[in-house]
Chains A and B, each alone.
Chain A
Amino acid sequence: MMLMQTVSMAFKAIRANKARACLTMLGVIIGVMSVVVLVAIGQGTTASVTSSIQSMGTNLLTVSIQTRSSGRFGGFGGFNSSNQRGTVILTTDDVLSWEDSDAVAAVSPTVSGSLTVKAGNVNTSASIMGVLPSYEEIRNQGVSAGRYIIQADVDNRSAVCVVGVDIAQELFGTTDVVDNTLSIDGRKFRIVGVLESKGTSGGTSSDAVVVVPFTLAQRMLENTSITSISVSATDAASVDAAQTYIENYLYRRYQNDSSYSVMNQSEMLSAVEETSSTLSLMLGGIAGISLLVGGIGIMNIMLVSVSERTREIGIRKAVGAKRRDILLQFLVEAVVISGLGGLLGLALGALLMDALEGVLGMTLTMSMGVVQLAVGFSMAVGIVFGLYPAGKASKLRPIEALHYD
């Protein structure tokens, strides 16, 4: 029998029992939809984290000093007490001395944490960064209005700040906020500049930040130790030399290599990519399980269908259908159900992704590989789970099937 004939027969059988076919499909639809959407979210996260890391500049090195206790500010932690036994304390001058190396272009110690920022009656939580002027260049942080933190601000511990666009929008409803005042933790700050927008990464906005002079941040934290340092190498070729230089310096100071870590951008990228590919795989796997459950649903319904249509099978066999014809008929029916479910799942997944893009604030793209995988897998589900019921149907003996009521 011709395959086209079988396929059209399958569509007829599905049309004859629409409600049931749709409910059966639902399992596959949900399965495929979740595979596609979850994998896209995983990939979208990777892409946005990767691009935000890349936007920091490829020459960037990040140094973090491990401490045993965490201070008032979270993130990389800070000291509460500067006289812990056996603890080496890095000062601003210590880290600025790295600029003596030809491989190092600029150094900025940083301190960061989350604090409440207030303007008028409006409150919001913001990430506060204490930096040196060189941080602007190290992190490609440019301003869209006003100016960045300058050396005089650092020297005088001036109460000035540069705000991200999100913070400006949230507190003032505009990005035209230069010379306005806001208060951080009860202390008044004059806004001297607005940062260029960098967009969001992985659900957190890099525009929800307030940059203040490093010396002032240190004082606000009652903390003179440095735990986090951003360094830019002279150029991409000297990243390794700069890293070696800094590692040697820190080893001399700490006499071990477990108190600090120096990460370059490619190391950070690969760490992030490794994490997020594991995440994508896990999400895809979970979604795959729901597809499997959908397949079991197909098998269940096909078995019911076979016993309901025993008489039909008997009639078909009486007029000359071979085992293969019956097997193919039911198998094609299962594959058509799962294939249609797969396509519908893709379509619904695309709609859901559109809706989620706004909510998650990331770009979600359906990759061709995932589409092929989802459709292929759903067809395979139809074959695997349709085979048993179809085999059962094909093995019915015509006399018994004919006299079945």
Chain B
Amino acid sequence: MAPRRKAEAPEPVKAAPVRQSTRKRPAAKTEEHTNEADENDKAAHPSPAKRPRGRPTAAPKLQNGASQKKKSIYDVPSDDDAVGEEGSNKDKVRAEQTHVGDEEEAEEVATTPKRKVKTTTSPVKASATKNIITPSRATRFTGGETPQWRRNDRSARKKSARALIERVVAGDASDEDEQEELAQEIYDSSQDEDEEEEGLEEGAEGKTQEIDESEAAAASPSKRPRGRQKKETAPKQKGRARKKSPTPPRDLPPYELYFAQNRPGAAKTSSNTLASLELLTHEEYFSILHQHKEHHAADIEYLQSWHTESFAQWSFELSEGFSICLYGYGSKRPLLHKFAKFLYDEMPDHESSKIVIINGYVRSTSIREMLGTIASAVDPSHRLPAGNPSVMLDSLKALLSSHDVNITVIINSVDAVPLRRAGTQTILAQLASHPQIQLICSADTPDFSLLWDSGVRSAFNFVFHDCTTFAPFTVEIDVVDDVHELLGRKARRVGGKEGVTYVLRSLPENAKNLFRLLVTEVLLAIEDEGMSGGENPGVEYRILYNKAVEEFICSSEMAFRTLLKEFHDHQMITSRKDVLGTELLSLPFRREELEAILEDLMS
């Protein structure tokens, strides 16, 4: 309600000049004078000047339904007070108008319902719409077939206008653009009608002119189009321009493109979904991939061999204390593997120079493990004390200085998610700046250089080489899971049945029992509900807990949670919340797998 109140508030303000003009009128007794005054007024306020003719509705307003009164409560009190005054003013006006002809009086009464509607419509349009209504015109339509649909239409328009205003006032130009557009459309179409109506009116005007000169002067056809164009065509054009929303020109610079594509309501996509497409499973993906023959294989191979020719140069750069970063599209892992072989063959002696390969794309990669592996390459019998990575690095450095070993560290995908933390990169940079360590890494994303600030980068002392290989990322990406995650279908899990049995083997009996219980419940639920959207139906947390207690699997919720956490860590269960917020537990396996697991557990 609040926004509407605000929206209506302007009305009294607009009404003010009207009243003034009406007051002027009695002062200028003769019609000619009124005309003059009217015209003067029009010059100043083109639209309100015409209102005196429409305004008389205020009197019927009083007589009319309580709904009207309710609305006027929101108006500024002065208006309410003014109604009476206006009424009296009106009487004077009416008294004047009776000179002209009695019919007008009747017309006014007849047209009131319609006009009343008009006055209460959106204040934005109020002036424009009020322009239209001259008593004479009103006769035509009221006398004619102002049918039900027109009124309905008006109320629809009224509502849509209100919706538009509310939106503007609330200031949310958000995602529900469809609604907004609908409202805009209704509003526009009814305006079209208004225009048509107007056309008729203008035709009528010719005749009415003779009858009522003052009226004609107020709404002379010669003047009207001008005012109208200003008022109505402007918003209309805007509306149309918006509707079209042409695709932006093609060669915009990237930043312009960004703004062009991100302006509110710009993105309109169809509502097609992949529902009809059967998504790939891991098995199908790999079996098809095996059969598929890449027709660029030879070219890719050639590209790779071309890169291999710079191996000697790279090893020279490495030995001079530079680190190397390979970037460009395609997996550089095979290339780096070859380079490792190359270095290995070059090495005069495999005791004093070692190669450590780090796979940044492996999700479990941690800086501790990396440092630990490097330390074990320096001295296999040495165990780095676990702790803060920077402390580990210090002890690794100490270890290095006591051994005469050169370590070449090869990092696949230095910009992979597990290594993206700033702390990790700092450690790597310090590692690379150690004279006994050479570092060569590959970067897959185009924005990798943002990982390093100037300090880190100068510690790395990088040279960069464009190594576009076009080789597929076979190991780096878990394609199927990644795509499903991208589509919002979760499919993270431990490696199928074998993985589950492997994990369960190392867990206590209770955990096995709980998992068996969960598998049974989920299978039952699948029987009952079937699969939904590639995901198994869930079992309510509470229910599962109660059952677990019943079966003496655990005695407290604490213990129950601990067991669940173990599963969760191995990604053997999934949990989500449904609409009501109840926690649902489920298993990320297919039905056949679940059955196999259950069989395994029962035996």
Partners in one complex: no
A interface list, Cβ under 8 A from B: none
B interface list, Cβ under 8 A from A: none
